[in-house]
Amino acid sequence: MVRRTTTTTTIIIALGLLVASPLMARRLTTTQMRENTIRINALELEEPAPEPIPEPEPAPEPQVWAFDSGRLNFDFDKSVVKPQYFELLRNVKDYAEQHDFKLTIIGHTDSKGSDAYNMALGMRRAVAVRDKLIEFGLDPARIIGVESRGESEPIAPNDTAEGRFENRRIEFKATK
């Protein structure tokens, strides 16, 4: 009978261990998870707060040079830079170099002709001025753009010959 009691006791202990094992394992896992969470939270508290990212400074507004009426203008339907403007272009070149400007050259037209034709003519004028500046020694890297506005930005009425002449012009946008 002693032997039977020992066997029964052994079976009861074994069953108890089988039933208790998952509960013990679960407790251990939960305890470990709590400890890990506390460790992670403590590490997060020890890290210094990230420095605020400074806001970037706004880009400087480009300066636009628009020459007075009668300066650097073109004849009707022409894109040839006249020799009378060479001195002016040399001064533009020198000024851009001395003040470390990069240039965008913008060609304009009067209202005669179609929009498409005037856009192309304005571009030919801007390219002619760009080429002349490079011929005078301006580093091509200083010219960051060549654009046409066609007839879209008149500075004078297009109903007179004088007004149309004023609108056939070049503007320079200078950017640091």
In terms of domains, do 43 and 76 share one?
A: no
Residue type, 34: R
In terms of domains, do 142 and 114 share one?
A: yes
Over range 131-153, report the average pLDDT.
97
Final residue before a domain boundary, out of 31, 54, 77: 54
In terms of domains, do 102 and 25 share one?
A: no
In terms of domains, do 149 and 73 share one?
A: yes
Residue 165's CATH number: 3.30.1330.60
What is residue 127's predicted lDDT score, i.e. its pLDDT?
98
pLDDT band at 176 (very low <50, low <70, confident <90, very high): confident
In terms of domains, do 109 and 171 share one?
A: yes
Provide DSSP, 55-118: PPPPPPPPEEEEPPTTSSB--TT--PPPGGGHHHHHHHHHHHHHTT-EEEEEEE--SSS-HHHH
What is residue 143's predicted lDDT score, i.e. its pLDDT?
96
Final residue before a domain boundary, out of 15, 36, 54: 54
In terms of domains, do 40 and 84 share one?
A: no
In terms of domains, do 79 and 125 share one?
A: yes
In terms of domains, do 148 and 102 share one?
A: yes
Final residue before a domain boundary, out of 54, 75, 94: 54
What is residue 44's predicted lDDT score, i.e. its pLDDT?
54
* 56 contacts 100 by C-beta, under 8 angstroms: no
- pLDDT tens-place string over residues 31-78: 666 665 555 555 555 556 678 888 887 776 766 655 443 479 999 999
Tally of domains within the chain: 2
- pLDDT tens-place string over residues 87-97: 999 999 999 99
The SS3 of residue 168 is coil
